[in-house]
Structure 1
């Protein structure tokens, strides 16, 4: 019994020893060097920061400029009202703009960030360049408000902060042989990558969208991502089984790969690197998540070391490259000991960051804030939360249920015609997909797309509309073109659409990628009032009234109908007659018909069959089937016009051929009785049957009466004729008018 137990104990000890050895290697405590991976990672981060600050330069005026969407001055006034004291203000909005929030300062910091990023790319004073990138980006992120709610900024802030001690010292350090990375800094950057990978996977499993757990996430993701590409469109239409495989590959890259990177030795880290980079490349090609995937893939290089790169060059039989990598890496000098205060300060800072990151992720998973020992870190977490440099990573864990898009439409003719402001990148036309814009991140449009599908109304759309009415050059520049080059519009409406991918058949037939369904207006219309101020309509009724009062006949008609039907307001027949009269005089067909009905019944106006018939005739001549029917009634009864059965039958026929069920019934009745035309029971049967099929209950009774005068053959022919008329109406997309 002793020998097997001893053997098991030995195996356990060897296993523990092996795990410990791999943990040390992952933490940078082995014999590996990291000069080349560090050099490549820092250059890659610098390139991403070039994109970051290029975007800031392009969009700064539109986002936080004086005529932008979220002006800095208004933001700082709000912060000062919310907190007491300069220290609290600075902690909740850590930004250099507290020194000066002028447009000149904004420009200076944006270009300063770009200079720092270029310096990092060129390997000039990398530690200071990283600190400048972190501080300057933080200054913008802390004041961007709604435009800084994504993890693209958090990832870059934390990456820059952790890379400061990881980077080589000096102004022009070259490969950094004289300043190799300390093991604790290697561990922290690798731990950062592990968190980005592993936390994103765990969140999907435990608290993310249910689609991840039932393997249907990829059935939804491509359609609802900010800027899906044509590859994403085609991937969306792959069989569900393929999406299940892709979801499995996601688990592989986010859960399996990071664990293998820690415990699998160098081969495991190669596997994790390839899986992670391939995963990020696939996302970038299908979804355009800005620089997020580029930065995440580039940071995967920290999994490698100099010896792994040299071995890879040898495996590919690039002997000279292998020799060069190995020779340069061999020049790495021993890590120099730091003065005690710096050594302990560095350790304290990094280990505090380590525990805070565990704490914030545990909170995201639902850990109570009072749980010890993590609760001891709560003050630190609260103190530095707005620095966005110790974050939980939940990439793609939440999926939008469907894709909504809010568009901006302006009018300078009081709402008669509307012109749409075209986006640069968002899908808008049914036959257009977003291009391959990543790693560029259009912050303005990405924010609008996410906010459009939120549970609550977002104020950002109203502010953008206001700026467009004011003709803000900065905001106008964020659109592909200005549909009002001569003068800003005087009215702005915000229709919201649901966008869904078309199916294969529709794509082949029309070339359209999107099905675009109008859902209504996102909020009431904005308009420039008589005093030149931008005003928001209080309601739909107010919105329509504004357009009607400015001479828009279609709006006057709509307003009259709202009053007549009590739609959106109390029923008011007098007000309805007033606005319908105005619209009718300007040629609006439905207004003429409804006004004729009001004169017929004395609703809101004095009863007058002559005036009613006049309005019915005008509307009937415009082809309105309801007016044609009522004009037929007028001729049949001699109401307001001389009685004329032939004219009545003619107008009934016109209305009947447009799907008016009562006109169809009356036409059948006139054929049956021989009023205004030759009696014909077969034709009577036809129109009674058409009326019945259109929903008129009396039509079936009339059909049965007419059938008594027909033999079986005549009845069959009449039935066939009726079916042909109904089919013709359906083919013309005519809805029955009852």
Structure 2
């Protein structure tokens, strides 16, 4: 059994392929993340956003939320930062980092990390997702993976594997310790229907027979609580375990929309893949670089310093993994360097949806047929519309609408502001929605209605041609007038 790359901590020449795909894939995820900021940030957290960043910046200091925007914030500067990050990410994905000297390549990765950190740290609730920290932690580690001018460093790859280990094991343990339906293997009776943003295949996953749901849950436990330890074992075990991680993540991609979480986890798992083994079994791969010398001493020193920092900062995530009161998606430092991860420690049994509806009728007690719904791109609305696939793109407003529905009798402050923007007919806000039912002028009244959603049965689907059945539960926000 081959113990490389872990026993040769200086360089892993056969890992060139894994590093190549890992870095190019990570750059593509950065590209998606920056484009999401271009599309959404102004409306969500801009100067007139639902939770304005300038007010947040006045309330926190640089040490609590390091960001370039502490020196100055404007929507134009934010857009410029996001477009710059997108351009740099696209360049790296196209191979720019490998064409530069080693020091310049490291600076390029560090710039991506710093630019996105500056956005995340002022994004407030809209950027409080575990995959934001995962992208930042992965971006920090990418600084120390080198480029084509040096052989892939084993220590750098091992740091990435350590990240994947924590992502997978954290997700597995939080389920096992959390909702007892995971231990009973029954959570997937509900999860595909109640997950934040179902995909086009979620209805079909939900309608799988009960025994298959139980097998699905059991396989998830194996993949997330046993297989991660194999990532740290010698080759070829590490490679086969990485493939299990990738297949598991592809299953999650098929069953729902989780932004770039699954895609990024698959990309990072490539750090454990034996490049030579992959080259022997996969056709049409590029030829390895002709010469990859050992890294210079200064690079090795920086790499070992980064490894020591990660080792030191790992004590809190490890304690969290071992704790019976494990927390999900916890960040321990404002730089998001070493974090805790996890998802769905609790599975909701019923799906509530908040539907924003407007009317031109002067009477707020107008009959239901006089109210028209604003439709979102990702969250369920029209019962006859099949859910779409948006991941790895992140629809933050749609996700937060799901969280808002978890407290059906306690409206979020930002939701009231969203209604105000819609009553004013704000063009930027309306661009985040799929359907504006009042294209010529704002409505007279807007309300937020609460509905109970469930997937239709096969018989109902055939009879009604709708994917969802919904029940009206009353107002989440009572009607507000145009001049309110």
Question: TM-score scaled to structure 1, two decimals?
Answer: 0.60
Distance 1:343 1:432, change over 3 A: closer
| Superposition deviation, residue 215 in structure 1 | 0.2
2:472 equivalent in structure 1: 518
Larger-Rg structure: 1
1:211 equivalent in structure 2: 181
Do residues 485 (structure 1) and 439 (structure 2) align? yes
Q: Are the counterparts in 1 of residues 32 and 393 from structure 2 also a CA contact under 8 Å?
A: yes
Do residues 197 (structure 1) and 168 (structure 2) align? yes
| Superposition deviation, residue 344 in structure 1 | 6.0
Do residues 366 (structure 1) and 366 (structure 2) align? no
Equivalent of residue 145 in structure 2, options 157, 166, 179:
166
Equivalent of residue 62 in structure 1, options 22, 32, 43:
43
Could you list the runs of 4 or more consecutive aligned residues of structure 1 that deviate by over 6 angstroms after TM superposition? none
2:227 equivalent in structure 1: 257
| Superposition deviation, residue 402 in structure 1 | 2.0
Q: CA RMSD in A?
A: 2.6
After TM superposition, list the pairs within 5 Å mapping 1:33-182 onto structure 2: 33-79=14-60, 89-125=61-97, 126-168=105-147, 176=148, 178-182=149-153
Distance 1:211 1:27, change over 3 A: farther
Residue deviations 1:100-123 (CA, integer Å, cap 9, x gap): 111111111111110121122023
Q: Are the counterparts in 2 of residues 198 and 255 from structure 1 also a CA contact under 8 Å?
A: yes
Distance 1:205 1:23, change over 3 A: farther
Residue deviations 1:272-328 (CA, integer Å, cap 9, x gap): 122111111111111111211111111111111332223324xxxx5xx68x64xx3
Distance 1:223 1:337, change over 3 A: same
Equivalent of residue 210 in structure 2, options 240, 258, 262:
240
SS across alignment from 1:243: helix
Equivalent of residue 299 in structure 1, options 265, 268, 290:
268
2:101 equivalent in structure 1: none
Tell me, in whole angstroms, the C-alpha distance in 1 between the residues paired with 2:24 and 2:57. Answer: 35
Distance 1:145 1:30, change over 3 A: closer
Equivalent of residue 381 in structure 2, options 405, 425, 428:
428
Residue deviations 1:14-55 (CA, integer Å, cap 9, x gap): xxxx9xx85973785786532221111000001111111111
Distance 1:349 1:31, change over 3 A: closer
After TM superposition, list the pairs within 5 Å mapping 1:463-542 onto structure 2: 463-529=417-483, 534=484
Q: Are the counterparts in 1 of residues 159 and 307 from structure 2 also a CA contact under 8 Å?
A: no
Q: Are the counterparts in 2 of residues 22 and 262 from structure 1 also a CA contact under 8 Å?
A: no
1:336 equivalent in structure 2: 296
| Superposition deviation, residue 454 in structure 1 | 3.5
Do residues 408 (structure 1) and 356 (structure 2) align? yes
After TM superposition, list the pairs within 5 Å mapping 1:325-404 onto structure 2: 325=287, 328=288, 331-338=291-298, 342=302, 345-362=305-322, 365-366=324-325, 385-404=333-352
SS across alignment from 1:518: strand
Q: Are the counterparts in 2 of residues 26 and 262 from structure 1 also a CA contact under 8 Å?
A: no
Tell me, in whole angstroms, the C-alpha distance in 2 between the residues paired with 1:295 and 1:106. Answer: 24
SS across alignment from 1:391: coil
Distance 1:99 1:27, change over 3 A: farther
Uncovered stretches (5+) of structure 1, i.e. residues with no partner:
1-17, 80-88, 169-175, 369-380, 535-738
Distance 1:133 1:451, change over 3 A: farther
Tell me, in whole angstroms, the C-alpha distance in 1 between the residues paired with 2:398 and 2:8. Answer: 40
| Superposition deviation, residue 362 in structure 1 | 4.3
Tell me, in whole angstroms, the C-alpha distance in 1 between the residues paired with 2:42 and 2:123. Answer: 11
SS across alignment from 2:446: strand
Distance 1:344 1:41, change over 3 A: closer
Distance 1:192 1:63, change over 3 A: same
SS across alignment from 1:409: strand
| Superposition deviation, residue 256 in structure 1 | 2.3
Distance 1:185 1:352, change over 3 A: same
Q: Are the counterparts in 1 of residues 161 and 231 from structure 2 also a CA contact under 8 Å?
A: no
Q: Which has the higher contact order (CA 8 A, sep 6+)?
A: 2
Total equivalences in the alignment? 469
| Superposition deviation, residue 182 in structure 1 | 2.8
Question: TM-score scaled to structure 2, two decimals?
Answer: 0.89
Equivalent of residue 272 in structure 1, options 215, 236, 241:
241
SS across alignment from 1:399: coil
Tell me, in whole angstroms, the C-alpha distance in 2 between the residues paired with 1:523 and 1:349. Answer: 48
Do residues 442 (structure 1) and 395 (structure 2) align? yes
Tell me, in whole angstroms, the C-alpha distance in 2 between the residues paired with 1:201 and 1:362. Answer: 12
Q: Are the counterparts in 2 of residues 200 and 393 from structure 1 also a CA contact under 8 Å?
A: yes
Uncovered stretches (5+) of structure 2, i.e. residues with no partner:
98-104
Q: Are the counterparts in 2 of residues 113 and 133 from structure 1 also a CA contact under 8 Å?
A: yes
SS across alignment from 1:512: coil
SS across alignment from 2:231: helix
Distance 1:220 1:339, change over 3 A: closer
Q: Are the counterparts in 1 of residues 453 and 468 from structure 2 also a CA contact under 8 Å?
A: yes
Tell me, in whole angstroms, the C-alpha distance in 2 between the residues paired with 1:358 and 1:215. Answer: 26
Tell me, in whole angstroms, the C-alpha distance in 2 between the residues paired with 1:499 and 1:196. Answer: 31
Distance 1:493 1:165, change over 3 A: same
SS across alignment from 1:74: helix
Q: Are the counterparts in 1 of residues 146 and 153 from structure 2 also a CA contact under 8 Å?
A: no
SS across alignment from 1:493: strand
Residue deviations 1:596-654 (CA, integer Å, cap 9, x gap): xxxxxxxxxxxxxxxxxxxxxxxxxxxxxxxxxxxxxxxxxxxxxxxxxxxxxxxxxxx
| Superposition deviation, residue 341 in structure 1 | 6.7
Distance 1:400 1:435, change over 3 A: same
Q: Are the counterparts in 1 of residues 385 and 467 from structure 2 also a CA contact under 8 Å?
A: yes
Tell me, in whole angstroms, the C-alpha distance in 2 between the residues paired with 1:343 and 1:118. Answer: 25
Do residues 312 (structure 1) and 281 (structure 2) align? yes
